[in-house]
A = this chain, B = another copy of it.
Amino acid sequence: SNAAALGSNIIGVGVDQELISAVPSHNPTFVARNFTDAEITYCRVQPSPASSFAARWAGKEAVFKSLGVKSSGAAAAMKDIEILNNADGVPSVQLHGEAKLKAEERGVVKVLISLSHSETVAIAFAQATTSA
A81 at the B interface (CB under 8 A):
no
Whether B9 contacts A65 by the Cβ 8 Å rule is: no
Query: Beta-carbon contacts of A104-132 to B below 8 Å, as 1s and 0s?
Result: 00000000111111110101111101001
Closest to A117 in B: B17
A18 at the B interface (CB under 8 A):
yes
Whether A7 contacts B9 by the Cβ 8 Å rule is: yes
**Chain copies in the assembled complex:** 3
Whether A15 contacts B125 by the Cβ 8 Å rule is: yes
**What's the least CB distance linking A97 to chain B, in Å?**
18
- What's the Cα separation between A18 and B3 when bound, in Å? 45
Whether A116 contacts B8 by the Cβ 8 Å rule is: no
Q: Chain B residues with Cβ under 8 A from A40's Cβ?
A: none
**What's the least CB distance linking A130 to chain B, in Å?**
10
Whether A5 contacts B6 by the Cβ 8 Å rule is: yes
